Amino acid sequence: MNDRAFSDAAGVKAGRRRRFIRGFALVLLAASLGACTELNLFHKEDVAPDEPADRLYNEGLYLLNVKKDPKGAVKKFEEVDRQHPYSDWARKSLLMAAYANYQAQSYDDCIIAAKRYVALHPGSPDAAYAQYLMAASYFDQIPDVTRDQVGTEKALAALDEVIRKYPTSEYAQSAKEKVQVARDQLAGKEIAVGRYYLEKKDFTGAINRFKIVVTKYQTTREVEEALERLTEAYMALGITGEAQTAAAVLGHNFPDSPWYKHAYALVKSGGLEPREDKGSWISRAFKDIGLGSVSL
């Protein structure tokens, strides 16, 4: 072998040796890193131990009741659920998270937590309270009558659920009171729209709105105005029989109402008297709910 060939062969061997050494070094490095990772994963100082569930829960109560920090309390209650899922403390904390969110006026978060509680613990004695918190969250977001009433409809449905599912619970009576307010709100919306149609002299459109109040919301405070407005709209259209009936039913059920005085004066201005037609839809609507009517 000449000197040049020998040199080439030696170079090839040296290159192979260098590659082998580099590869072996990489293997050792990977093994070393893996060992370090294993040590870090199982080293007690690098893993935060779970806090006792009762301590987290009581810290949440302290933040909620003493520090008046409902948002901070929510974090503690949620941590109980994260660290101790499926425990009794987690169940209690879920309900308290809903309540703390309600106190913080974080109504959407309250609804989410309350729905989850009812879904996970339907047989719990506290399920009624969770359902009530959900309903109260919808109720507290009811908009004024100038705005869309989808939120009011949701509140009414949730409140009805409390009454239907838990009729003997301590929350049923409060739910019934809130139902009346929600129904007043929905009736008020119909009255507002009906007034708008009256101003535009769209008497048929107005009658349709006031009819909703009379047929669906007779027990609300808005029904008196609805009957007077019906008297007004029917008189404007010359449908005097229905106008007389609206005034008569109004006078019989709400004789001291200022709305009856307006309706009576309106009918009298046309040379008529309030007089009920028993076949009128107005008369039938009031009979359906047990309110009296009379022929004058």
Which pLDDT score, from 0 to 100, does residue 287 have?
80
The predicted-structure confidence for 237-253, as pLDDT tens digits, reads as follows 999 999 999 999 999 99
Q: Which pTM was predicted?
A: 0.77
Which pLDDT score, from 0 to 100, does residue 5 have?
40
Domains of the chain as residue ranges with CATH: 51-120 (1.25.40), 187-288 (1.25.40.10)
For 250-277, what is the mean pLDDT?
A: 97
**C-alpha–C-alpha distance, residues 256 and 166, integer Å:** 38
In this structure, of 185-199, 211-225, 274-288, the range with the lowest mean pLDDT score is 274-288
The predicted-structure confidence for 8-31, as pLDDT tens digits, reads as follows 444 444 455 555 445 444 433 344
Does residue 37 or residue 96 have the better pLDDT? Answer: 96
Which pLDDT score, from 0 to 100, does residue 286 have?
87
For 65-79, what is the mean pLDDT?
A: 97
For 226-246, what is the mean pLDDT?
A: 98
For 137-146, what is the mean pLDDT?
A: 94
For 85-93, what is the mean pLDDT?
A: 96
